[in-house]
């Protein structure tokens, strides 16, 4: 299966500038956005799954990136959302720096392999500094998607 991150991220699931400054507030803002666009059926259940996951271990992976994620039946299919923060959100990252690029992954319980693949591909893509710089500079959701499409392998 040729798994592409860009197949699971829709322009409507992209927030160019998130308002929240704190981790759970940022996650809630993303979840509310996904509920408003009908990507998630049960926002509360999804938020609880994400919060529980965050309590186990922070999803702030360093380099200004956070990838909150959870498997929940509040979604029917794997879906990604993206938010950017100029100010930065404290995700208790391993390097102690705030997160400016936040990718959220939602997956139904029964799609474990796609979920793991999404995490791995996203981590690999975001390890590259030029990609992070382009994502920080992008002006529109379409530009964000274009950057991901051009750089994913």
Question: Of these residues, 33, 37, 69, 87, which one is catalytic?
Answer: 69
The answer to whether 90 and 57 are in contact (CB under 8 A) is no
The four Cα atoms 91, 10, 16, 142 give a dihedral, to 10 degrees, of 140
Contacts of 133 (CB under 8 A, 6+ apart): none
**Cα angle: 129, vertex 134, 117; to 5 degrees:** 65
Based on the residue annotation, tell me whether 69 is a catalytic residue of this protein.
yes
Helix (H) / strand (E) element for 124: namely helix 112-126
Helices within 12-111 (DSSP H only):
23-36, 43-56
What are the Cα distances from residue 149, in Å, to 5, 8, 81, 108, 125?
8, 11, 15, 24, 10
Report the catalytic residues. Answer: 69
């Amino acid at each position: 299966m040729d798994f592409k991150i860009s197949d699971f991220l829709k322009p409507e699931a992209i927030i160019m500038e998130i308002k929240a400054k704190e981790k759970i507030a940022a996650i809630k803002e993303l979840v509310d956005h996904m509920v408003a666009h009908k990507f998630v059926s049960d926002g509360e259940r999804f938020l609880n799954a994400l919060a529980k996951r965050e309590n186990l271990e922070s999803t702030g992976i360093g380099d200004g990136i956070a990838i909150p994620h959870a498997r929940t039946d509040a979604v029917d299919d794997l879906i990604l959302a993206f938010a950017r923060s100029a100010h930065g959100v404290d995700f208790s990252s391993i390097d102690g720096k705030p997160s400016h690029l936040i990718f959220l992954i939602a997956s139904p319980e029964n799609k474990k392999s796609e979920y793991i693949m999404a995490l791995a591909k996203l981590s690999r893509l975001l390890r590259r500094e030029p990609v992070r710089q382009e994502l920080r500079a992008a002006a529109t959701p379409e530009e964000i998607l274009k950057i991901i499409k051009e750089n994913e392998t």
